[in-house]
Amino acid sequence: ETGVTQSPTHLIKTRGQQVTLRCSSQSGHNTVSWYQQALGQGPQFIFQYYREEENGRGNFPPRFSGLQFPNYSSELNVNALELDDSALYLCASSARDRLEAFFGQGTRLTVV
Protein backbone atom coordinates (compact mmCIF):
# COMPACT_ATOMS: atom_id res chain seq x y z
CA GLU A 1 0.00 0.00 0.00
CA THR A 2 1.53 3.31 -1.06
CA GLY A 3 1.18 6.45 1.01
CA VAL A 4 0.42 10.00 -0.08
CA THR A 5 3.11 11.43 -2.35
CA GLN A 6 3.54 15.01 -3.45
CA SER A 7 5.65 16.63 -6.13
CA PRO A 8 7.76 18.61 -6.32
CA THR A 9 9.22 18.77 -2.81
CA HIS A 10 10.59 22.27 -3.26
CA LEU A 11 9.77 25.06 -5.69
CA ILE A 12 10.80 28.68 -6.18
CA LYS A 13 8.57 30.97 -8.19
CA THR A 14 8.43 34.67 -8.98
CA ARG A 15 5.59 36.89 -7.86
CA GLY A 16 2.83 36.94 -10.48
CA GLN A 17 3.64 33.49 -11.86
CA GLN A 18 1.41 30.42 -11.73
CA VAL A 19 2.23 27.11 -10.05
CA THR A 20 0.82 23.57 -10.11
CA LEU A 21 1.41 21.15 -7.27
CA ARG A 22 0.62 17.46 -7.54
CA CYS A 23 -0.54 14.77 -5.16
CA SER A 24 -1.11 11.03 -5.40
CA SER A 25 -3.60 9.74 -2.86
CA GLN A 26 -3.10 6.75 -0.65
CA SER A 27 -4.46 3.56 -2.17
CA GLY A 28 -8.17 3.12 -1.44
CA HIS A 29 -8.75 6.78 -0.54
CA ASN A 30 -11.28 8.75 -2.59
CA THR A 31 -11.15 12.10 -0.81
CA VAL A 32 -8.28 14.55 -1.07
CA SER A 33 -7.76 17.80 0.80
CA TRP A 34 -5.17 20.55 0.45
CA TYR A 35 -3.76 22.61 3.29
CA GLN A 36 -1.42 25.57 3.49
CA GLN A 37 1.00 25.75 6.41
CA ALA A 38 2.74 29.07 6.91
CA LEU A 39 5.77 29.30 9.15
CA GLY A 40 4.83 28.91 12.82
CA GLN A 41 1.20 28.14 12.04
CA GLY A 42 -0.92 25.04 11.83
CA PRO A 43 -2.18 23.77 8.48
CA GLN A 44 -5.03 25.86 7.06
CA PHE A 45 -7.70 24.15 4.94
CA ILE A 46 -7.79 25.25 1.30
CA PHE A 47 -10.31 22.85 -0.27
CA GLN A 48 -11.40 19.26 -0.52
CA TYR A 49 -12.30 17.06 -3.48
CA TYR A 50 -14.48 13.98 -3.56
CA ARG A 51 -15.26 12.11 -6.77
CA GLU A 52 -13.65 14.87 -8.83
CA GLU A 53 -15.91 17.59 -7.40
CA GLU A 54 -14.95 20.33 -4.97
CA ASN A 55 -16.58 19.39 -1.69
CA GLY A 56 -15.70 22.22 0.66
CA ARG A 57 -13.49 25.28 0.59
CA GLY A 58 -11.65 27.31 3.19
CA ASN A 59 -11.03 31.03 3.26
CA PHE A 60 -8.81 31.19 0.18
CA PRO A 61 -9.33 33.37 -2.91
CA PRO A 62 -10.41 31.94 -6.29
CA ARG A 63 -6.85 32.08 -7.63
CA PHE A 64 -6.40 28.89 -5.61
CA SER A 65 -8.03 26.13 -7.63
CA GLY A 66 -7.80 22.39 -7.87
CA LEU A 67 -8.60 19.23 -9.71
CA GLN A 68 -9.13 15.61 -8.77
CA PHE A 69 -8.66 12.93 -11.39
CA PRO A 70 -10.46 9.57 -11.81
CA ASN A 71 -7.53 7.79 -10.15
CA TYR A 72 -8.04 10.14 -7.16
CA SER A 73 -4.77 11.99 -7.71
CA SER A 74 -5.06 15.75 -7.42
CA GLU A 75 -3.58 19.08 -8.40
CA LEU A 76 -3.47 22.43 -6.65
CA ASN A 77 -3.09 25.45 -8.92
CA VAL A 78 -2.26 28.92 -7.71
CA ASN A 79 -2.41 31.86 -10.12
CA ALA A 80 -0.89 35.32 -9.74
CA LEU A 81 1.44 34.23 -6.96
CA GLU A 82 1.98 36.62 -4.08
CA LEU A 83 4.84 36.73 -1.60
CA ASP A 84 2.45 35.59 1.18
CA ASP A 85 1.76 32.39 -0.75
CA SER A 86 5.18 31.17 0.39
CA ALA A 87 4.38 28.20 2.60
CA LEU A 88 4.36 24.43 2.91
CA TYR A 89 1.48 22.97 0.91
CA LEU A 90 0.15 19.69 2.24
CA CYS A 91 -2.06 17.18 0.53
CA ALA A 92 -4.07 14.73 2.62
CA SER A 93 -6.16 11.78 1.53
CA SER A 94 -8.85 9.92 3.39
CA ALA A 95 -11.56 7.37 2.84
CA ARG A 96 -15.00 8.94 2.59
CA ASP A 97 -16.33 7.29 5.74
CA ARG A 98 -13.25 8.03 7.84
CA LEU A 99 -12.17 11.29 9.37
CA GLU A 100 -8.48 10.44 9.75
CA ALA A 101 -6.55 12.13 6.97
CA PHE A 102 -3.11 10.96 5.90
CA PHE A 103 -0.66 13.57 4.72
CA GLY A 104 2.07 13.69 2.15
CA GLN A 105 5.46 15.19 2.90
CA GLY A 106 4.44 18.53 1.45
CA THR A 107 5.70 20.94 -1.19
CA ARG A 108 7.71 23.90 0.06
CA LEU A 109 6.81 26.87 -2.17
CA THR A 110 8.90 30.03 -2.03
CA VAL A 111 7.68 33.11 -3.91
CA VAL A 112 10.30 35.77 -4.54
Partner 1 sequence: DQQVKQNSPSLSVQEGRISILNCDYTNSMFDYFLWYKKYPAEGPTFLISISSIKDKNEDGRFTVFLNKSAKHLSLHIVPSQPGDSAVYFCAASRTGYALNFGKGTSLLVTP
Asked if 69 and 49 touch (Cβ cutoff 8 Å), the reply is no
48 counts as binding partner 1 under rule CB under 8 A: yes
The DSSP call for residue 24 is E
Torsion of CA 61, 80, 24, 96, to 10 degrees: 10
106 counts as binding partner 1 under rule CB under 8 A: yes
Instruction: Mark the segment that binds partner 1 (CB under 8 A) among 11-19, 67-75, 79-87, 94-102.
Output: 94-102
Asked if 18 and 1 touch (Cβ cutoff 8 Å), the reply is no
Asked if 94 and 31 touch (Cβ cutoff 8 Å), the reply is yes
| Residue from the set 76, 81, 87, 90 that interacts with partner 1 by CB under 8 A | 90
* Closer residue to partner 1 (CB): 15 or 96: 96
Binding site for partner 1 (CB under 8 A): 4, 6, 33, 35, 40-45, 48, 56, 58, 90, 92, 99-106
